[in-house]
Amino acid sequence: MSETKTPQPAQPFPGAQSVPAAQQFQGPQTLEPFPGPQAAQPAHTLQPVPPLSAVQTGQVPPQPSHAQPVQPAQPVPPQPAPSAQPRPIPQGSRALPMHTLQYRFDGPQDAPVLVIGPSLGTTWHMWDRQIPELSQHWRVLRFDLPGHGGAPAHPATAVGELSDRLLATLDGLGVQRFGYAGCSIGGAIGADLALRHPHRVAALALVAASPRFGSADEFRQRGVIVRTNGLEPMARSAPDQWFTHGFAAAQPAIVEWAVQMVRTTDPGCYIAACEALAAFDIRPELGRISVPTLVLVGAEDHVTGPAEARTLVAGIPDARLALVPGASHLAPVEQPGAVTDLLLTHFSTSWQDTLAAIPVPGTGATLSAPVLPIAEIAPAAAGPDGVTSGRPDPYDPGMKVRREVLGDAHVDRVMAGSDDFTGEFQELVTRYAWGETWTREGLDRRTRSCVTLTALVTSGHLEGLAPHIRAALRNGLTPAEIKEVLLQTAVYCGIPAAGAAFTIAQSVIQEETTPRP
C-alpha cells in the first residue's frame, strides 16, 4: 500500500515561542463585522440563522492584536475540493458509520487541513471571526453537530459516535491528517479523537472544554426540560451561560443571534447531545493524549472554567494553558482576536507534520511466546463475594445503569446511608435488580419505567415512586405519558392508590421540568 502524503503545516512565524502557561491579553476585542472568507465553499444546506459576520455589533474599546505575521504554508499536494456530499469511502477502508456531518471548507485547497468543532446549541458560524486569518494558512473545515444549523437530524448519544461521523466525513474527503480545535462538546470530540485516533491528529486545541462536563444528573435533567418545554428555556438562558454581563449588555444583536441558534436546533438532537455529555468522562485517560495540546479558557467562564482547564493541563503530558481575560464560555465570539492569536501560535509551532510522529495502533494480536499444550484445566477461581470468574460480575454494569437511571445524587445518598447492616442488601439490589434485569435487551428503558411505575403503585410501595418518576423522565417518558400510566393504574389498582401516586408524581414532575435560574 502506498504511503499517504501528509499535508505540511504552516511554518512558525519569526521569533514565535511556545504558548506560556497562562497567556494574558488586556482588554476586550474590537467586534467589527468582517467580509466573508475569500473563495469560501458554499454550505451544504441553508442556514436558519445568519453568519456572525452579518450581525451588526456595537462598539467596545479595542484591544491590541498580539498576533505576528505568519509565513505562508509550504506547497503540498492539494486536498480534494468538497462536493455536495462526501465521496464514498474507498474500497478496503475499515468499516465506518453511515452518517456523516454537515461541513464547509474555507481557505486554499493546497494547505494543510484544520478542523474546527462547535459548542452545543451553536453552529459553525460561532467561528466566523477566526476564519479570515486561519484560512490564510490552513484549509479550514468547520462542521455542524447533528440537528444544528440545518444539519440532518440524526441524533448521536455518545461523543465517540460524533467522532466517528467526523472521521467518516474526513475519510470521504480524502483527509488523513489534520489539526483540530473544538469548543465545549467540540473539544470533547477532539479529545476523543486524540485518544482513539492519535495518528490522525497533528495538533489539538481544547476551548472551554473539560474532562467531564458537570454532572450526569445536570445534563439528563436538561434533557428532561427540553423534552417537556422545548428549547425555549435553553435559548433564554444561553446568554448568561455563554457571555459576560458586560458583553451581553454591549452587544444585544450578538446575544439575539446566539439565542436564535439555540431556538433553531432540533430538540431531539440537543437531548441526544446532552446524553453524550452526561456519559463523557475521560479523567482517567488524560495521560494517554500524546498530541501537543492547547487548553484555552475564558477567565470568566462559569460553565467549564479555569479549574476544569487546569485539570486538563495537569493530566495531558504535552499541554499548555491559555487564560483569556474578559471572556466567558464562547471565547471565540467574545474575544475573537485573542483566541485567533492563540490558535495561530499553537498550530504554527506545535503541528506534528508526519504520520510517523505517532504510530498507528496495531490491529492484530501478537504472541510473546509459543503456544504450549494445555495439560490441565483448573477450576474457576472464586471472585469477591463468591462470584466466580466464569461469569462476569453484574455489579459494575448494574451500578452504571443504576446511576444513569436514578441519577448520581440519589445513588450517592443511598450508598452513603448504607452500613454493615444494609450494605449487602444494596449490593444485592445493584447486582441483580440493576445488573441482571435493567441491563437486559428485551425492553428499552422507557418501557421498563412504565412497568416499574405500575408495579410500585400496584404493590402500594409508594415510598419508591418519586425516584422512579425522575427516572422515567430521564428515560424519555413525557409528563403526559406518565399521566397515562397512572390513569391506567387507577382502573386496575384502585382510585386511592392512583390518587396518592398522582400527588407524588405532580410534585416530582414540577420540580424536574421547571428550568432553574
Give residue-wise pLDDT tens across range 290-327: 999 999 999 999 999 999 999 999 999 999 999 999 99
Superfamily of domain 95-357: Alpha/Beta hydrolase fold, catalytic domain (3.40.50.1820)
Question: What band does 257 get if pLDDT is binned at 50, 70 and 90?
Answer: very high
3-state secondary structure of 4: coil
**Is residue 100 a contact partner of residue 86, using CB atoms and an 8 Å limit?**
yes
Q: Which uninterrupted H or E stretch holds 430?
A: none
Kindly tell me if the per-residue pLDDT of 444 is higher than 50. yes
Closest C-alpha among 157, 202, 176, 465 to residue 358:
202
| Contact present, 212 and 280 (Cβ < 8 Å) | yes
Q: 143 forms bridges with which residues in the sheet?
A: 103
Span 111-140, pLDDT tens digits? 999 999 999 999 999 999 999 999 999 999
Residue 246 has pLDDT above 80, yes or no: yes
∠ CA 437-158-516, rounded to 5°: 90
Task: Indicate whether 225 pLDDT > 70.
Answer: yes
pLDDT averaged over the chain? 80
Which pairing describes strands 178-183 and 201-207: parallel, antiparallel, or unpaired?
Answer: parallel
Residue 383 has pLDDT above 90, yes or no: no
As given in the structure block, the three cell numbers for residue 295 are 487548553
Report the alpha-carbon distance of residue 472 to residue 401 in Å, rounded.
13
Secondary structure of residue 256 in the 3-state scheme: helix
Query: How many whole angstroms separate alpha carbon 477 and alpha carbon 488?
Result: 15
Give yes or no for a contact between 432 and 440, defined as CB atoms under 8 angstroms apart: no
Domain ranges of the chain: 95-357, 384-513
Residues in the chain: 517
- Poorest-pLDDT segment among 37-46, 193-202, 283-292, 301-310: 37-46
CATH, range 384-513: 1.20.1290.10
Q: What is the pLDDT of residue 56?
A: 55
Give the pLDDT mean for 446-465.
Answer: 94
| 285 or 381: which leads in pLDDT | 285
CA dihedral sign of residues 231, 236, 240, 245: positive
C-alpha to C-alpha distances, 500 to 402, 410, 470, 497, 510, nearest whole angstrom? 25, 22, 16, 5, 16
Per-residue pLDDT for 381 more than 70?
A: no
pTM of the entire predicted model: 0.72
Q: Does residue 428 carry a pLDDT above 70?
A: yes
